[in-house]
Amino acid sequence: MFRRLQAAFRLILAYPSADEVVLLLQAAGRDHVPINTSSKQSVFSEIEGHEHKPVPDPKDRPTVDAIITEISSQEWYLGQIIYKRVFEEKKAQTGQ
């Protein structure tokens, strides 16, 4: 936690305006939020210059287990995931 606070303070000190820090964080976050392209209006539609990333196909996405394994192998991971449960795959149900 201390490292994260240090990183946040360094980021704040690097920019003279708090607004610049907020815009920087928002822009960085937008790059990692998939957008449902079938939706008429997205959360980021009012932000100019933002390119929408489509939601990837399920066959192209990594599994949850692969993501957890990748996170667990990172240097900054401190054992926050303490319990895992595995459920059998279920077929999706869609409404009409």
Q: How many helices (H) and strands (E) does the chain have?
A: 3, 0
Higher per-residue confidence, 74 vs 96: 74
3-state secondary structure of 18: helix
Alpha helices in the chain, H assignment, sequence order: 2-14, 18-30, 64-72
Residue with more model confidence, 48 or 55: 55
Of residues 24 and 41, the one with the higher pLDDT is 24
